[in-house]
């Protein structure tokens, strides 16, 4: 919401500290010191994240601008997880969120079967008087406090995520399952007779990308990158389309996934499982026998995966030099390494970091930590995905430049902020790593040289994180400014 001012009335977003002090930040404010401080007694039912109107008090020299909330424009959320407690027969929710500064009263008829001491998720139904506690109702009983499943569900629900879909959405998905895969082969390139396989983590539940491999007469090689054609099952305006728009993405937690789509789609029709036909989008590239890219094609495809590999299985075949589809895997890996080398020669930055994973027991309790191993098969898959993304972006950028009625979304990556770059240069010099920079930019070759020199040194991770934090974050935009 843009800032609006009427006399001494302004609008902004409320943030709360654990001590109950509020700060309302206008959208054009650069940092916290520009925020309006709200004493706890003047929050007037305002909650963390709410968009509010504030009446400003006279400014006192040398002190923060203060004010009081006079209107809640929009609530950031009304649902809270917590423990149900009672006192003299009155039930109330004690929220887990420390920034929620008041308990929520739950009338007996709104308990939803919950009992005192249980972890529940409740919604505020009425709260207009700041002098009184909000009234709410229990929407879901989660279980016993501190139980892993109850706490994980509580976290998800508080953030607005749930694995429960509305009934009409589930019915639409089930109807698609009954219909099955209907191949519109007139508009799809048929890859069902072409060798195709997936390579995913051993514990993956769904498989949304696959690789195909075909040797042509004359020695050229076609390698296809195929992703599930989700749009086929979700026409614009359908219940599934609307629900996916609200959810925006699947959410991956340490021990579970909250899907964007019902399981019928996410784990079945849109999962590229072996031995079944699946509808896909493909980016198909033609390589010379030496691994040079000489052709490309993009369009709708239909595939029939021959094999589901885990990364470990495919890596073992490469390491042993023998096994199912070794020749194809080895050639694809060779081409991938060639592409990687060429990327770095053209300025790509190597920002690979070890990924820490948690080992969980049968109750979901962390019992160990380990470093995820990244082998050639991981890097190979990443390289082909990068190739597909890059070439599709180039393809649509050309179309977008010539067709004004088409809008495309790009993942863009701006140049680093000059101030952050200067901070990084100073930090590196103090550690004994002087680095060349020009006009607020550190050349990518310099960064790669630095990172390579840190191999085996204790300061490697610290410097690596500092480099990443100096970079501008990648964002999605309809304006294609490129990828630094």
pLDDT tens-digit map of 377-392: 999 999 999 999 999 9
Neighbours of 165 (CB within 10 A): 20
- So what CATH class is 79-158? mainly beta
| Domain parsing of the chain, residue ranges | 5-74, 79-158, 188-228+256-378, 409-477
Which pTM value belongs to this model?
0.81
pLDDT band at 31 (very low <50, low <70, confident <90, very high): low
pLDDT of residue 345: 85
pLDDT of residue 400: 66
pLDDT at position 276 over 60: yes
What is d(CA 318, CA 187) in angstroms, rounded to the nearest whole number?
36
CATH topology of domain 5-74: OB fold (Dihydrolipoamide Acetyltransferase, E2P) (2.40.50)
> Which one of 133-137, 179-183, 356-360 scores highest in mean pLDDT?
133-137
Average the pLDDT over each of 6-10, 33-37, 157-161, 479-483 and give the range with the smallest value: 6-10
> Are domains 5-74 and 79-158 of this chain identical in fold?
yes
Calculate mean pLDDT across residues 63-87: 93
pLDDT, greater one: 119 or 360: 119
221-228: strand order across its sheet: 189-190, 293-304, 277-287, 221-228, 209-215, 195-200, 307-310
pLDDT band at 60 (very low <50, low <70, confident <90, very high): confident
Q: What are phi and psi of 428, to 5 degrees?
A: -65, -40
pLDDT of residue 210: 97
What is d(CA 251, CA 447) in angstroms, rounded to the nearest whole number?
32
pLDDT band at 1 (very low <50, low <70, confident <90, very high): very low
Tokens found for residue 464: 């690596």
- Which of 2, 256, 60, 275 has its CA nearest to residue 266? 256
Calculate mean pLDDT across residues 30-34: 60
pLDDT of residue 102: 93
Enumerate residues 6+ apart whose C-beta is below 8 A from 372: 354, 355, 356, 357
As a three-state string, the secondary structure of the chain is CCCCEECCEEEEEEEECCCCCEEEECCCCCCHHHCEEECHHHCCCCCCCCEEEEEECCCCCCCCCEEEEEEEEECCCCEEEEEEEEECCEEEEEECCCCCCCCEEECHHHCCCCCCCCEEEEEEEECCCCCCCCEEEEEEEEECCCCHHHHHHHHHHHCCCCCCCCHHHHHHHHHHHHHCCCCCHHHCEECCCCEEEEEECCCCCCCCEEEEEEECCCCCEEEEEEEECHHHHCCCCCHHHHHHHHHCCCEECCCCEECCCCHHHHHHHCCCCECCEEEEEEEEEEECCCCCEEEEEEEEEEEEECEEEEHHHHHHHHHHCCCCCHHHHHHHHHHHHHHHHHHHHCCCCCCCCCEEEEEECCCCCEEEEEEECCCHHHHHHHHHHHHHHHHHHHHHHHHHHHCCCCCCCEEEECCCCHHHHHHHHHHHHHCCCCCCCECCECCHHHHHHHHHHCCCCCCHHHHHHHHHHHCCCCEEECCCCCEC
Calculate mean pLDDT across residues 185-201: 92
Calculate mean pLDDT across residues 399-415: 75
- In this structure, are strands 293-304 and 189-190 parallel, antiparallel, or unpaired? parallel
Q: How close are the terminal C-alpha atoms of the chain, in Å?
A: 30
Calculate mean pLDDT across residues 228-255: 91
Average the pLDDT over each of 21-25, 296-300, 331-335 and give the range with the smallest value: 21-25
pLDDT of residue 412: 86
Calculate mean pLDDT across residues 274-287: 96
pLDDT of residue 5: 44
What is d(CA 336, CA 376) in angstroms, rounded to the nearest whole number?
9
pLDDT at position 30 over 70: no
Cβ atoms 52, 9 nearer than 8 A: no
Please report, rounded to a whole number, the percentage of residues in the chain having pLDDT higher than 90. 58
pLDDT, greater one: 451 or 186: 451
Average the pLDDT over each of 27-41, 171-185, 312-326, 416-430 and give the range with the smallest value: 27-41
pLDDT of residue 28: 65
pLDDT of residue 401: 60
Residue bearing tokens 């890059």: 390
The rounded mean pLDDT for the chain is: 89
pLDDT of residue 4: 43
pLDDT at position 406 over 80: no
How open is the CA angle 464-468-473, to the nearest 5 degrees? Answer: 170
Cβ atoms 332, 380 nearer than 8 A: yes
Tokens found for residue 480: 């294609």
């Amino acid at each position: 919401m843009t800032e609006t001012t009427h006399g001494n009335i302004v609008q902004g977003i409320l943030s709360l500290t654990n001590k109950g002090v509020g700060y309302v930040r206008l959208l054009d404010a650069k940092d916290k010191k520009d925020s309006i401080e709200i004493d706890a007694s003047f929050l007037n039912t305002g909650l963390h994240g709410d968009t509010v109107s504030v009446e400003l008090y006279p400014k006192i020299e040398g002190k923060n601008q203060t004010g009081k909330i006079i209107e809640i424009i929009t609530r950031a959320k009304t649902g809270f997880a917590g423990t149900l407690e009672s006192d003299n027969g009155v039930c109330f929710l004690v929220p887990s969120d420390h920034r929620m500064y008041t308990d929520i009263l739950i009338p007996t008829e709104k308990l939803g079967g919950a009992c005192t001491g249980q972890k529940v998720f409740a919604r505020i139904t009425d709260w207009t008087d700041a002098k009184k506690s909000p009234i709410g109702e229990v929407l879901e009983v989660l279980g016993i406090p501190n139980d892993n499943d109850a706490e994980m569900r509580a976290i998800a629900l508080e953030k607005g995520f749930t694995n429960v879909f509305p009934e009409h959405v589930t019915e639409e998905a089930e109807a698609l399952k009954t219909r099955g895969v209907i191949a519109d082969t007139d508009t799809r390139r048929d890859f069902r007779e072409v060798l195709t396989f997936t390579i995913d983590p051993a514990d993956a539940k769904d498989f949304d990308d696959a690789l195909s491999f075909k040797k042509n007469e004359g020695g050229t090689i076609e390698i296809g990158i195929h992703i599930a054609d989700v749009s086929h099952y979700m026409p614009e305006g359908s219940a599934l389309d609307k629900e996916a728009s609200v959810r925006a993405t699947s959410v991956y937690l340490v021990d579970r996934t909250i899907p964007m789509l019902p399981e019928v789609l996410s784990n079945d029709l849109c999962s590229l499982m072996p031995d079944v036909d699946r509808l896909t989008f493909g980016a198909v590239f033609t390589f010379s026998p030496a691994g040079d890219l000489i052709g490309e094609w993009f369009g709708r495809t239909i595939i029939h995966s021959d094999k589901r590999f885990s990364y470990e299985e495919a890596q073992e075949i490469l390491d042993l030099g023998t096994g199912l589809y070794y020749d194809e895997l080895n050639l694809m890996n060779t081409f991938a390494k060639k592409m990687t080398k060429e990327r770095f020669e053209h300025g790509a930055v190597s920002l690979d970091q070890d990924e820490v994973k948690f080992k969980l027991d049968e109750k979901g309790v962390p019992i160990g930590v380990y470093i995820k191993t990244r082998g050639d098969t991981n890097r190979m898959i990443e390289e082909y995905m990068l190739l597909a993304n890059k070439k599709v972006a180039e393809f649509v950028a050309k179309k977008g430049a010539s067709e004004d009625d088409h809008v495309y979304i790009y993942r863009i990556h701006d140049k680093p902020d000059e101030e952050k770059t200067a901070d990084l240069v100073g930090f590196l010099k103090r550690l004994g790593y002087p680095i060349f920079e020009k006009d607020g930019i550190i050349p990518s070759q310099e960064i790669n040289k630095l990172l390579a020199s840190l191999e085996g040194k204790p300061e490697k991770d610290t410097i690596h994180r500092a480099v990443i934090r100096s970079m501008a974050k990648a964002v999605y935009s309809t304006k294609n400014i490129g990828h630094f």
